[in-house]
Amino acid sequence: MTASYTVRLLDSAVADLRRLEDFAIERELASETPDWTSPQRALDAIREGLRLLTWSPFSCRKAELGNGQSRELIIPFGGTGYVLLFEVVGHEVIVGAARHQREEDYRP
């Protein structure tokens, strides 16, 4: 039997996702050849990653920083991707942050 986990996004993660969505839209607005499907496809990729966390959060790598309980979900998208930082507490997955891999503070 497969365990089922509830995924909860902290306000900080929700704010990160909104910021990432805004950035994707601004990037397309600045492009000479915008791909208006790109922001939605990015959100779809993140949503699919969140679904993985409902049944297999421990398949994600341990985060380098944090209290030893944090994990990172890498979500590929195009030539880069996104990283979600989360912790598993009982049967709840708590997502605390979301970053794009090309952001200045991202460390592989």
Contact yes or no for 98/45 (Cβ under 8 A): no
Contact yes or no for 4/26 (Cβ under 8 A): no
Q: What is the pLDDT of residue 46?
A: 95
User: Would you kindly state where each structural domain of the chain is located, as residue ranges?
Assistant: 6-100
Which element (helix H / strand E) includes 73? Answer: strand 70-77
CATH of 6-100, one of 3.40.50.2300, 3.30.2310.20, 3.40.228.10, 3.40.50.970: 3.30.2310.20
Q: What is the pLDDT of residue 101?
A: 86
**Residue ranges for the chain with pLDDT beneath 70:** 1-2, 65-67, 104-108
- What is the rounded distance in angstroms from the CA atom of residue 81 to the CA atom of residue 26? 17
Contact yes or no for 42/20 (Cβ under 8 A): yes
Q: What residues have CB less than 8 Å from 33, skipping those under 6 apart?
A: none
* pTM attached to this predicted model: 0.86
Q: What is the pLDDT of residue 33?
A: 95
